Amino acid sequence: MAEPGSDFDIHPVTRAEAAAWRELRLEALKNHPTVFMSSYEEAVKRDLAFFAERIPQPGGADVLFGVYVADELCGCAGFGREPGEKEKHKGFMWGVYLRPNLRGRGVGEALVGRLLDHARGQVSLLRCSVTTENTAACELYRRMGFIDYGIEPRSLRYEGRDYDEELLVISFD
């Protein structure tokens, strides 16, 4: 789906694009180790099949949206719905990343907005978490309607330092 007046498209990533997503994901993990729970050191050892399997199949509730500039994958954001009968009304946003040249141009807002539009049709609550030091992401998510519901202290440890995570939720009811 092309954004009006923009030089980028947002649409689901397919398993055929696993190599491009692997490259983007490894870039994100390597350059921003305190933002993601996964580590570059673990992910770089994973084969292409591992990454392909993490890309949701088309037509289901779960989706990995990609931001494309001139057909190149330059950003992503994942949506997953909880599988249990008593929790399937809840979803989670994961793996949000944009290459630096796209930041500050409204692309992140468009990407999260696309994910929110999809999530509205799937769940009544959408959760996400973000390290408290990632102020740009925290501000973006709040502007998009997320509210804080807690802090997970010492959620992530990197190079001997602990990082807290803000727990955020948006309700579609």
Whether the Cβ atoms of residue 96 and residue 137 lie closer than 8 Å to each other: yes
The domain in which residue 51 lies consists of 9-124
* Residue 28 in domain: yes
The answer on pLDDT for 22 being more than 50 is yes
User: Could you give the CA distance from residue 65 to residue 77 in angstroms, rounded to a whole number?
Assistant: 5
CATH number for the domain harbouring residue 104 = 3.40.630.30
Helix (H) or strand (E) segment spanning residue 108: helix 107-120
- Separation of alpha carbons 167 and 162, rounded Å: 16
Q: Using pLDDT thresholds of 50, 70 and 90, give the confidence band for residue 59.
A: confident
Cα–Cα distance measured from residue 8 to residue 173, given in angstroms and rounded to the nearest whole number: 31
Residue 41 lies in a domain: yes
Which two structure tokens, joined as six digits, stand for 38?
């996964």
Give the total number of structural domains in the chain.
1
Give the alpha-carbon dihedral of 164, 165, 166, 167, to 10 degrees: -140
**C-beta of residue 125 within 8 angstroms of C-beta of residue 146:** no
Look at residue 4 and tell me whether its pLDDT is greater than 70.
no
Task: Note the pLDDT tens digit of each residue in 134-149.
Answer: 999 999 999 999 999 9
Residue 173's pLDDT band (boundaries 50, 70, 90)? confident
DSSP 57: P
Q: Quick one: pLDDT at residue 5?
A: 47
Q: What is the DSSP string of 17-53?
A: GHHHHHHHHHHHHHH-TTT-SS-HHHHTTS-HHHHHH
In a domain, 68, yes or no: yes
Provide the pLDDT confidence category of residue 3 given band limits of 50, 70 and 90: very low
* 14 falls within a domain: yes
- Residue 34's closest CA among 129, 147, 104, 145? 129
Q: State yes or no: pLDDT of 164 exceeds 90.
A: yes
5 sits in which H/E element = none
Residue 49 placed within a domain: yes
Is 134 inside a domain boundary?
Answer: no
- pTM of the entire predicted model: 0.93
Inside any domain, residue 132: no
Q: Is 82 part of a structural domain of the chain?
A: yes
